[in-house]
Structure 1
């Protein structure tokens, strides 16, 4: 190459380099980006805010007390204004990288100026820096947080394929096509009916329903099956099970003494409300403020037990005001996590570090719940047996009297009075912001109000819990419908369109299908907040009805099933597993409602958690007998300091506070429960003895057990393996009859006169099937 030309090129490179260094216009041309595609338009909510929230908001976010340099990057006005500590300079200047000091600080390698600072242990990737660069070049447009923008029902997207049954599928298919994916085939009829039954009733389908769907299937047939399960009383129980976590329901008070409380009539009301398909806006209003409705009914007052489900101390010598404040804090936090999908509790001690919720906002919300008369919380409650509080219709066949926040029920069928805690506002009480959230450090007084960043409280609403409920259920509210629709999606699919179903704030997950989430939320409200309508809409979609098989292409392209090119497959909850086993064995007691029961439990556990004798209330675990041993897990007595251990092993929460999303773990203890728990051994024994008793010379025992448990016929290989196992076990028990007798003594359910060896061998076979992954999995 000519020397002069080479020199010119070098000089040009130096000049370009100097200009790039001086202006901060760095280009990222390394190999790291050879395979990355950047969005044509950088979106603030979906691309920029997550970066700023993770790396910048701790020092430059909503929390005024922790804010540094007077810079707030979560607010457009502040972010684009002159820097208070550096006059004439700006953190972000739209379309001007050189003058955007925040961008320059992000690129800086000087420890004294770089952002985030070195001691924060935070840093932006080159990809994130390039996104911010492009965002500033495009004008640095800010937006309100996506979850605070009222949802809109956009037009359905245009797709290349015609796949799908309803509007849901259009949104799903659009994303699949964008990622070069195709949906899976429809699930088999056996799989589909089992899936629908588990989702809507929490129980496996009965043989008649299976036979019905195995006829030539159509969407009309499936719609009829869905309607049948929605009309089942078990539907209300299934829906209530998940609501109890949100409502932190328990049968004991919690704290150290953890003595008995009677709240099961409220739980039974929830079952009743779901079965009557009470609209979700009404469902919320009654629970938050049923007592404030004009001429409230007994049912509306009972519903407010939702606000009383929090732990309550029974200990002597405590500071009553400290605990009273804790109860109000709990109600506020439950509203945040359970209904709004926000971490309100983070603003108790200081302004929220990530979401635009100040400490003042928090205590203004707190004020709605700070008027309740807390008297009567330590009450004497008599456990009544076998009471059905709900007729259909009318509501309940009782008389009721409300006194000091306690609703007293007297059943007309000769049973004792039952006291249930409900809401009962007292004289107006002044609410204060509490310094660091401490009960004894009041600062400024506040009135009931809601955060303007979410949705301003309308002037025409009363400043009480009823007004709060009306604010929540306003059609323009950006969160309430979205959060509930997302929770229903998570119930059916294992995870929500927003994976953090409990957190729609800045630190929560972004929706994978925001347009679909908004469409469903608006459609839900347009149809009167009808929960059954919402469930049916989703279940009729081709998305819901796909196979769950992980195809090779999906294993590579979408291993987490983010885009829903297949149906999900996940382990059922501990309650569902127990109920499934009871139902398939024929043991399940399907009685609805009534006091909580105490099934099998390892001895000595309650005694270990008791403090000071517990005044004799819950000192000893007295196991129930007869049919009560086989009631649905929904009715199992829930002691906060020791929840049902087998359900805890399968990730059930303590219910000390509101929980929306349970953990999903896989541990050896879970396998040990399935292999050794007396209730499961008993279920296998009863299933076996019923088959042998019905047909002593039966030749299809293994096939029958398989069908009853898994709702499908066994494949040839499966049948051969299980038959060999059964025959080997039968031979062994013929030789050792004493062992057979010992095995089939499991549990308290009555023995039938059967061939002991056959029963024991078939019992073991049933237990093997109960331990299969397929049995405890919804797919």
Structure 2
């Protein structure tokens, strides 16, 4: 939004002002308040954000809440004569002093002032000036930028033609040159390798890979590493993490009883799909409608488990239809956010207040997911088979079709999937969204302002809905996905509000780049690995993250990417890094979820007191050292360590994790048994090597921080090691108790004092900020 207030031009307002100016190739003018105002005021980038924030609640799409029968979200409504005075108009093109909108927002009479004082909303002086200038310039309305199909524009002209590595860099550099900012130098090879290794596999580069890359001085050395990482079997796991958030995957049903759910074979499929580089159109179609495609098989049907990952009640006494409606609601809301980046849920009870989604549109989309023969309550808390519709996966199925599933025993696995029944029910619009307040019957349809659902082109079922998403005229699908991949790599999307491309969402920082990526992705076969490679081989991505004062002052949030951002590793990746760098990681792909170390009593305190998940039963052996993606997620009591690092509880679709910094995270790194055990295991390995103390410390440093320590760092670590040797020499009992952690079998170490000191130093390195930061 255009964030101009009495304190002056806020950073994001400056961004938008420059964005519009540079994209339109217009100069700026400065008003008396020293605030930059574009010579040409743009409706999408200047006016709509103001109207959406301050006016649409009463004069927007929601007919039930509309005041004075006045719409300001459409040109027709804004230019029409006022209902109670046909000689006056809300907006008169070119004449602000004859436009009621301008007169009312500028009125000194509180009874006439808009927004009314009772709303606690107020336009700033600069917002009023923008509206006046826009009306004076003709009051041009434009469709919302996200509802216009993307077009691939020519690459912008730039001065520095040596810097770009691919097309992405032209768009980034064009903005930077307009801002008068320069790009950072390329990151050094060690930090670049760590960055790309975590981005593509979620794991640190091995010392062998570090050595190989550092010794390769060929021009294509970096691209070779990228290709190697894209082929790595752990690539699919890293890519799947964000999709499990989107799909609200969990291992329990949710609600109070929160019984066991078996959907992990679907998770195995997601990992497999990313590793095999299934095109996004296939990935999307199979998950929405794999049961309806021609030549369907068990794999395509399994993929539809995406639609059944929602919460399900197992509590007696519930109203069956009420909860069945909740399940379909969840699928509809997830569809809107996951594939369209829109807040569909806002239209369940009334017309959307900001976006062109009516309540009828909502339930017409709802209809696609409403034909499943399911119940609101089925089975018991410990049911051994999934709620129908479901499929049963046997060993024979795995041998013949589902070869990617990591099944541990011979017991068949039952998984919830989708299946439509013809004529099972009519879908009604529900008044106020209540399950028992049925109104008119609705047909299959989608919001028309996005793209009309043409029944002559699209089947009237979920398969037709998937094809509607993938139509070249659909403005959102490809934009939303490439933005989310950009977000996964840079920590922030080109559209920051990756779950809201609507009127209330943030404007894109680089609209031309977003459209270019969207069209390029679609026109090149929806190839996900190609998209990822394009991004990570750009000069933009390869920049160092060094911050200089000028850039920090002019672009504090780094939204123009004059440097590479620094971001903390995700919750799962923090765990994976500790396990991998210490040598503890169990690299097994797929299979049932596991229960690693967890504080006692958490499940018991949150459970209803019955069922298999009443008590947390920790796993042992190799299962303790599986990757974070396989950690068992009980919705009513999510894994506490993961939660500390901002993991999703998976109770609903989530497309962007917030990143917090709290003291609890430091306490986790200091006290988590996994981190302590990893420190012990790595110390055991190093203490047995035929090397001196400094060499051991250097190797630990490389394994954990993925770079050679500087001389001063080595001296500091050596000094600390010697201090710990002295301390443990005087406190031998503490040395013995300190290393007694974790279930991994301990080796017999002769010099227990040096071993304890080395473990302490390694544990300290794990607690360095740089360790869990991608920079």
Give TM-score scaled by structure 2 length: 0.92
What is the CA distance between 1:333 and its match in structure 2? 0.4
Q: Hey, what's the Cα distance between the residues in 2 that align with 1:82 and 1:113? A: 18
What is the CA distance between 1:414 and its match in structure 2? 6.3
Unmatched tracts of structure 2, length 5 or more:
1-28, 387-392
Q: Hey, what's the Cα distance between the residues in 1 that align with 2:191 and 2:401? A: 47
Q: Give a deviation string over 1:400-454, Cα, whole Å, max 9, x none.
A: 9xxxxxxxx9999960111100001123220011011000001111011000011
Q: 2:716 aligned to 703, 716, 721, which one?
A: 721
In the TM superposition, 1:294-333 aligns within 5 A as: 294-333=294-333
Q: Is the 8 A contact 2:596 2:619 kept in 1?
A: yes
Q: Is the 8 A contact 2:334 2:653 kept in 1?
A: yes
1:598 partner SS? coil
Q: Is the 8 A contact 2:593 2:630 kept in 1?
A: yes
> What does residue 445 of structure 1 align with?
441
Q: Hey, what's the Cα distance between the residues in 1 that align with 2:224 and 2:295? A: 39
Q: Hey, what's the Cα distance between the residues in 1 that align with 2:426 and 2:398? A: 37
Q: Give a deviation string over 1:537-562, Cα, whole Å, max 9, x none.
A: 01111100001111111111111101
Q: Hey, what's the Cα distance between the residues in 1 that align with 2:686 and 2:757? A: 12
2:144 matches 1:145: yes
Give TM-score scaled by structure 1 length: 0.92
> What does residue 554 of structure 1 align with?
551
> What does residue 728 of structure 2 align with?
733
What is the CA distance between 1:123 and its match in structure 2? 1.2
> What does residue 587 of structure 1 align with?
584
Q: Is the 8 A contact 1:97 1:137 kept in 2?
A: yes
Aligned residues: 733
Cα 1:314/1:461, change in 2 over 3 Å:
same
Q: Hey, what's the Cα distance between the residues in 1 that align with 2:131 and 2:478? A: 32
2:72 matches 1:76: no
Q: Hey, what's the Cα distance between the residues in 2 that align with 1:33 and 1:626? A: 71
Q: Hey, what's the Cα distance between the residues in 1 that align with 2:226 and 2:577? A: 19
> What does residue 533 of structure 1 align with?
530
What is the CA distance between 1:132 and its match in structure 2? 1.1
What is the CA distance between 1:699 and its match in structure 2? 4.3
Q: 2:495 aligned to 498, 506, 517, which one?
A: 498
Cα 1:422/1:587, change in 2 over 3 Å:
same
What is the CA distance between 1:527 and its match in structure 2? 0.9
In the TM superposition, 1:143-542 aligns within 5 A as: 143-162=142-161, 163-217=163-217, 220-374=220-374, 378=379, 380-381=383-384, 396-397=398-399, 415-428=410-423, 429-459=425-455, 460-542=457-539
1:200 partner SS? helix
Query: Which moved further from structure 2: 434-443 or 693-702?
Result: 693-702
What is the CA distance between 1:381 and its match in structure 2? 2.8
Q: Hey, what's the Cα distance between the residues in 2 that align with 1:188 and 1:762? A: 29
Q: Hey, what's the Cα distance between the residues in 1 that align with 2:340 and 2:492? A: 18
Q: Hey, what's the Cα distance between the residues in 2 that align with 1:32 and 1:656? A: 49
Q: Is the 8 A contact 1:377 1:421 kept in 2?
A: no
Q: Hey, what's the Cα distance between the residues in 1 that align with 2:405 and 2:451? A: 42
> What does residue 767 of structure 1 align with?
763
Query: Which moved further from structure 2: 731-740 or 374-383?
Result: 374-383
1:261 partner SS? coil
Q: Hey, what's the Cα distance between the residues in 1 that align with 2:271 and 2:142? A: 41
> What does residue 99 of structure 2 align with?
100
Q: Is the 8 A contact 2:405 2:591 kept in 1?
A: no
Cα 1:413/1:656, change in 2 over 3 Å:
closer
Q: Is the 8 A contact 1:184 1:547 kept in 2?
A: yes
> What does residue 13 of structure 1 align with?
none
**RMSD over aligned Cα atoms:** 2.0
Q: Hey, what's the Cα distance between the residues in 1 that align with 2:406 and 2:755? A: 45
In the TM superposition, 1:633-652 aligns within 5 A as: 633-652=628-647
Q: Is the 8 A contact 2:158 2:173 kept in 1?
A: yes
Q: Give a deviation string over 1:700-750, Cα, whole Å, max 9, x none.
A: 221111111001111122111111111110122223222111111110111
What is the CA distance between 1:40 and its match in structure 2? 2.2
2:135 matches 1:136: yes
Q: Give a deviation string over 1:595-618, Cα, whole Å, max 9, x none.
A: 10000000111100110x22x311
Query: Which moved further from structure 2: 37-46 or 583-592?
Result: 37-46
1:420 partner SS? strand
Q: Hey, what's the Cα distance between the residues in 2 that align with 1:414 and 1:390? A: 10
> What does residue 5 of structure 1 align with?
none
2:631 matches 1:629: no
Q: Hey, what's the Cα distance between the residues in 2 that align with 1:219 and 1:516? A: 26
Q: Is the 8 A contact 1:410 1:416 kept in 2?
A: no
Q: Is the 8 A contact 1:261 1:381 kept in 2?
A: no
Q: Give a deviation string over 1:545-599, Cα, whole Å, max 9, x none.
A: 0011111111111111011100010111111101100000000000011110000
Q: Hey, what's the Cα distance between the residues in 2 that align with 1:79 and 1:251? A: 51
Query: Which moved further from structure 2: 697-706 or 220-229?
Result: 697-706
In the TM superposition, 1:740-751 aligns within 5 A as: 740-751=735-746
Cα 1:103/1:674, change in 2 over 3 Å:
same
> What does residue 619 of structure 1 align with?
614
1:38 partner SS? strand
2:89 partner SS? coil
Q: Hey, what's the Cα distance between the residues in 2 that align with 1:281 and 1:464? A: 17
Q: Hey, what's the Cα distance between the residues in 2 that align with 1:727 and 1:381? A: 57
Q: Is the 8 A contact 1:349 1:435 kept in 2?
A: yes
What is the CA distance between 1:696 and its match in structure 2? 7.1
Q: Hey, what's the Cα distance between the residues in 1 that align with 2:508 and 2:83? A: 36
In the TM superposition, 1:563-602 aligns within 5 A as: 563-602=560-599
Unmatched tracts of structure 1, length 5 or more:
1-29, 384-388, 401-408
